Amino acid sequence: MPRAGLTSELVVAAAGDHVDRSGVESLTLASLAAELGIKSPSLYNHVDGLEDLKRSVALAGVDLLAEACRDATMGRTGKQALAALAKAYRQMAVDHPGMYALTQVARPDDEEFTARGERVLRPVNAVLAGYGLEGDAAVHAARVLRAALHGFALLETQSGFGIDLSIDESFNRLIDIIDAGLPAI
């Protein structure tokens, strides 16, 4: 019998907190059960195992990223929209490094994951359309943008910027470079 008040949503939220705090590799059903004060088998009332749990955390992460990007770009165009999108993307990765890492695992055969991922692409495509980019050019631009933002976020979350110089200033310069380069795609 499940613990009173424990829901699938609470299990996924606790797993998200765990991976953000301790890393994806540290997530096990036993470790999560201990945090929740239950026995591991009780988790099977809410998830179908560790991979299902990680998938659920990834879906929650994609939802967070989609909402952050949508909210940041609403009512903005051009470089303002690009900067807001980039900052929201970076902030989500910094605030939720474990969840963010799980969003980056390709799941091409997972229709739900793909559909939710499309919600991240909507504000990205809207920003790129403001630069006159559509079709194949927009796909290439989205890849460039994702690579730049992901690379920066990964370096930041893994303490890859060791020189004592403003990381925010470096990020603003990255946005300037992307803004200047998008019309050339």
Structure tokens at 105: 């695992």
pLDDT band with cut points at 50, 70 and 90 for residue 1: very low
Global confidence as pTM:
0.92
- Per-residue model confidence as pLDDT tens digits over 72-88: 999 999 999 999 999 99
Within 8 A by CB and 6+ apart from 116, the residues are: 59, 62, 63, 66
pLDDT band with cut points at 50, 70 and 90 for residue 105: confident
* DSSP state string for the chain: -PPTT--HHHHHHHHHHHHHHH-GGG--HHHHHHHHTS-GGGGGGT-SSHHHHHHHHHHHHHHHHHHHHHHHHTT--HHHHHHHHHHHHHHHHHH-HHHHHHHTS--TT-HHHHHHHHHHHHHHHHHHHTTT--HHHHHHHHHHHHHHHHHHHHHHHTT---SSS-HHHHHHHHHHHHHHHGGG-
Structure tokens at 76: 């903005």
pLDDT at 6 over 70: yes
Q: Which structural domains are found in the chain, ordered by start?
A: 58-184 (1.10.357.10)
Question: In terms of pLDDT, which residue wins out, 102 or 4?
Answer: 102
- Per-residue model confidence as pLDDT tens digits over 121-174: 999 999 999 999 999 999 999 999 999 999 999 999 999 999 999 999 999 999
- Per-residue model confidence as pLDDT tens digits over 39-66: 999 999 999 999 999 999 999 999 999 9
Structure tokens at 33: 């059960």
> Are the C-beta atoms of 169 and 139 separated by less than 8 Å?
no
> Are the C-beta atoms of 103 and 59 separated by less than 8 Å?
no
